[in-house]
Amino acid sequence: MESALPAAGFLYWVGAGTVAYLALRISCSLFMALRVWGLGHEPGVGPGLGEWAVVTGSTDGIGKSYAEELAKCGMKLVLISRSQDKLNQVSSEIREKYKVETRTIAVDFASEDIYDKIKTSLAGLKIGVLVNNVGMSYEYPEYFLEIPDLDNAIKKLININILSVCKMTRLVLPGMVERSKGTILNISSASGMRPTPLLTIYSATKAFVDFFSRCLHEEYRSKGIFVQSVLPYFVATKMTKIRKPTLQTPSPEMFVKSAMKTVGWKSRTNGYPVHSLMGTIISTLPSWLYFNVIMRSVKSTRARYLRKAKKN
């Protein structure tokens, strides 16, 4: 009995320490959330960084919403996306609504030979903000070897999700360093925070974006450059196939309005209060529990998609 007392005491302090650590972590997260989202402060972007902002994947969803928020801050815009028709429409809407100059570049980020065209189009512009938003996911969760047209999917996911971020940063960063100011916002995903099976390539490419952003921020923050990794959970966009916004799945406009408040404050963010809370909770789960939960979720989504496809 006496020999069991020290062991019981040890386990008590381990448990108490764990609870205290989790309580402290959650308290810090809540304090930061209050500081960022609850208290008003000036936007972390604007023409003072450089009069132009560049947004990739800017004709829909999160990218379009970032373009609009940057226009509200008085920044001129270079909108880059695949469809010239959509670019013309969004460009005209933003120009008329916010009274800012806009330019467009129509390219397909699935290709590798587009960057000379982009470089030429951006030449001479003082770019203060770059939003690397363009991205591609799966049509539905699927096992790696069963992904339709796997070789092409691998190439497109890497080119769009990884190569575009590196190449666009390569084009824009030198001017920011020369002026000792600038902001780069890289749109990753919550699936890049922890591995997401059945979305394996997507999850891995978004993890790259997160790591790339965090490393770049540490390399260049002393030179006046702020680099942010944005890791949203589900947002009601065409890519997620969620049509109706909810508290948990906000509209792109709501998400970006919230995420913009974190610029200059947090170099890594889920961008939205509810998503931030979800990220804090999920990050505390042990791996075995996390993988058990996530596998059930993606398998269920896969099964629903395949049943629907079979009926059609």
Residue 202 lies in a domain: yes
Which of the following is catalytic: 98, 138, 202, 272? Answer: 202
Please give the Cα distance from 104 to 49 (Å, whole number): 21
Q: Are residues 85 and 180 in the same domain?
A: yes
Helix spans in the chain (H):
4-33, 61-72, 84-98, 115-122, 150-158, 164-179, 200-220, 252-260, 273-283, 287-311
The question of whether 202 is a catalytic residue gets the answer yes
Residues 168 and 111 reside in one and the same domain: yes
In a domain, 64, yes or no: yes
* 12-48 pLDDT per residue, tens: 677 777 677 767 766 666 666 666 756 666 678 899 9
Q: What is the CATH number of the domain that holds 74?
A: 3.40.50.720
Q: In the predicted model, is pLDDT for residue 293 greater than 80?
A: yes
Q: What is the pLDDT of residue 247?
A: 87
- Residue 310 predicted with pLDDT over 70: yes
Clarify whether residues 16 and 83 are in a common domain. Answer: no
Quick: pLDDT tens for 55-87: 999 999 999 999 999 999 999 999 999 999 999
- Residue-range definition of the domain harbouring residue 118: 43-311
Q: Are residues 92 and 192 in the same domain?
A: yes
Pick the residue with more confidence: 11 or 281? 281
**Tens-place pLDDT, residues 171-199:** 999 999 999 999 999 999 999 999 999 99
- pLDDT recorded at residue 8: 62
Q: Does residue 4 lie within any of the structural domains?
A: no
Is the pLDDT reported for residue 132 higher than 60?
yes
pTM of the predicted model as reported, rounded to 2 decimal places: 0.88
Q: Which has more pLDDT, 173 or 237? A: 173
Q: Which residue has the higher pLDDT, 5 or 173?
A: 173
